[in-house]
Amino acid sequence: MSTIDARNVDFYYGNFHTLKNINLEVQKSEVVALIGPSGCGKSTFLRLLNRMNDLIDGVSITGTILINGLDIYATSVRVDELRKEVGMVFQKPNPFPKSIFDNVAYGLRVNGVKDKALIEQRVEESLKSAALWGEVKEKMKKSAFALSLGQQQRLCIARALAVKPKVILMDEPASALDPISTTKIEDLIHELKQDYTIVIVTHNMQQASRVSDKTAYFYLGELIEYDKTTTIFTNPQKLSTQNYITGRFG
């Protein structure tokens, strides 16, 4: 069973047909990069996977998306439960105006975890997994805003890990960061892939080639090509893909 299985997905933003008949499968512990020019629908597709698009007025979706075999758009599905399974990291680091500890503990607390020892243990684990523990263990009570941008983004990753999701969605997680912080995030993705399935949207093709096992190329709302990353970057089947990765447009 695939971890993510999107079948015949169409998505409309008002009357605008944003995604056209998308079919895409992701296996467990894979890292899949979604690439394509601005407005191609890659971010929209990513946000369908944890139903983040529900927050926008006047959108509609057809087709099915299964995550671990479960249809996430079925009426019986509770969105907050789904989002616990499918974590997300955003383009710009968005830690809450709380302490470092409280940021990581937030997801646990809102999901009803009361056990203090368990929370502390999970916070530590998550910060370690996000390779941030060494830098912050002395200042857990300090505001998250005191961290550098790169640290804030790793904090946001730790925050997502704390609720033990199966899938992590990353929406251009390094685009607001400097090169060194970017490298750290990319290293982290390599580490995380042992335990998590990751879907990452990126503008940066080097990044896609460095971090992902598979790459999906979107153009004008269609999934043009989806294959092993090495194949996409060395031997693309479609001309459009080739033009994009060789930098002729986009």
- From the list 6-14, 87-95, 172-180, 208-216, the region that binds another protein by CB under 8 A is 87-95
Sort strands 59-67 and 70-71 into parallel, antiparallel or unpaired.
antiparallel
Task: Give the interface segment with another protein, choosing from 33-41, 94-102, 202-210, 221-229 (CB under 8 A).
Answer: 94-102
Asked if 175 touches another protein (CB under 8 A), the answer is no
d(CA 48, CA 13): 12
143 scored as a contact of another protein (CB under 8 A): yes
Instruction: Based on the shown chain and the rule CB under 8 A, indicate whether residue 92 belongs to the binding site for another protein.
Output: yes
Q: State how far the Cα of 148 lies from the Cα of 182, in Å rounded to an integer.
A: 13
Interface mask toward another protein for 152-171; x: CB under 8 A: ----x--xx--x--------
> Which residues 6+ apart lie within 8 Å of 184 measured at CB?
131, 150, 154
Does 138 interact with another protein (rule: CB under 8 A)?
no
Beta partners for residue 200, in sequence order: 33, 170
Quote the DSSP letter at residue 57: T
Contact between 17 and another protein by CB under 8 A: the answer reads no
- CA distances to 75, 120, 129, 139 from 116, in Å: 34, 6, 20, 18
Q: Select 102 or 225, whichever has its Cβ closest to another protein.
A: 102
99 is a contact residue toward another protein (CB under 8 A): yes
**Alpha helix (H) ranges present in the chain?**
42-48, 79-85, 100-110, 116-129, 133-136, 149-162, 179-192, 205-211, 229-234, 239-245
Q: How far is CA 88 from each of CA 82, 83, 118, 132, 175, rounded to the nearest angstrom?
A: 11, 8, 22, 18, 15
Minimal distance, residue 94 CB to another protein, in Å = 4
Residue 97, interface with another protein (CB under 8 A)? yes
- Residue of 8, 14, 121, 145 interacting with another protein (CB under 8 A): 145
Q: Is 148 in the site for another protein (CB under 8 A)?
A: no
Nearer to another protein, 156 or 189 (CB): 156
Q: In the complex, which residues of this chain contact another protein (CB under 8 A)?
A: 50, 52, 55, 57, 80-84, 87-88, 90, 92, 94-99, 102, 106-107, 109-112, 143, 145-146, 156, 159-160, 163
